[in-house]
Structure 1
């Protein structure tokens, strides 16, 4: 009995040599900001899924390109997600360090009663900032909406997109050239292509 096309496509992806990389990148994205227990469960689930899959050569260049591009996209997405949490952690560490330094200085200049009051104030302030950490992470985790790209630069990106629509993934050399011709930063160019592919690209091998 012949398997349905969906099952064949799924089997091709799961047996592809890049499947382990793809699954690991996906799990890493899901682990960002998750509680330790949930992160451990995700790691365990990913490990179970990896066993018995991947390792075979696909023999399909289109699928190879798709898997490589999707792995790269997830890795970059993980890096973007990690930045806000890192900033939040560093911010809280700086606040705690400042309060500790302030308390130490106050303790040297105050009597024991004054030092006790400072310790109480420190504890209250630290408690307040820890309570705000969750909302701070959420705010920093929101994707920052940049301003609209200049019309001329956006048109040059669209021209490149139209010319390379079959495979709209610019190489590093392409990105450098686009940055020079448009005056945009490579980060802006990367984000534009990610959004453009998500909204407007339908690859011919999208069912693999």
Structure 2
């Protein structure tokens, strides 16, 4: 035989049932709200999805602009850090924003420029002084 305590009381079953009913009610309300919003704004959502799918990546800079930047790069390949005046002039001649000019030079230096060893030592010496001192 099983006692009433081992089987559980009827009070415990009732409290769990109320919570389940509230959860179901909340889920149904959420679903109704979602359906209502989708009906009302589905046209806008599909338009936004279409617009975002077109805007993935703008792509490369115009060929003429890249050529102007590369010409500057080739002339100044030992120290490819344009001054602010250079950046303004390059922006005017290429039709690009200064931010685009800056980014192009940052990427170009990372990908294609390695300072010579002499230059690295001279930069370090100018920052910290000569490594070896004469006695």
TM class, shorter-chain normalised? 0.3 to 0.5
Larger radius of gyration: 2
**What is the TM-score of this pair, normalised by structure 2?**
0.45
Higher relative contact order (CA 8 A, sep 6+): 1
